[in-house]
Amino acid sequence: MAASFTTREIDIRTGSRETVYDLTRECTTFLRDVAQGQDGLLNVFTPHATAGVALLETGAGSDDDLLSALHDLLPADDRWRHKHGSPGHGRDHVLPALVPPHATLPVVAGELALGTWQSVCLVDTNIDNVNRQVRLSFLG
C-alpha cells in the first residue's frame, strides 16, 4: 500500500497573554478525518519565529510551570538585541531554540499514541501576535 500525505492548517487565537494552548483535540479531530485507522506519523508545526510545540501535562499546573521556567530562562527585559515590539520581545525569538516549532508523533490505528498525561501544546510567549497558525500533517 502506498503512503498518503494529508495536511491541514488551523488558526489559533492565543490572546494577549503568554499561553500554553492545548492542541490535542484539534490533532485528534484531524486524525479522525484523515487517518482512517492507519498507522503513521503526525507532524505538528507552527510557522512562527516566536512560538513552539511541546508535549506536556496540562491542567495540573505543568503548563504554568513551563511558562514560569521560560520566564526564568528568558526574562522579558531589555537585555535582548532584538528590540522591536513589547519590552523583552527579543526573548520570544529565542523561544523556538528551546521549545521547537514542531513535533512528530506516532499514530497507531488512526489514533494519536500519546502517554497517559501527555498533551500536544502550542507554547506562545509573544503577546504582540495573538493569531497563530498550526499545520497538521499526517503521513500514513
Query: How is the chain split into domains, by residue range?
Result: 5-139
Average pLDDT, whole number, for the chain? 95
| C-alpha cell belonging to residue 11 | 488558526
Amino acid at 62: S
Architecture, CATH, for domain 5-139: Sandwich (2.60)
pTM: 0.94
DSSP state of 126: -
d(CA 103, CA 121): 10
CA atoms within 13 A of residue 70's CA, in its CB half-sphere = 28
| C-alpha cell belonging to residue 59 | 491542567
Write out pLDDT tens, residues 16-72. Answer: 899 999 999 999 999 999 999 999 999 999 999 999 999 999 999 999 999 999 999
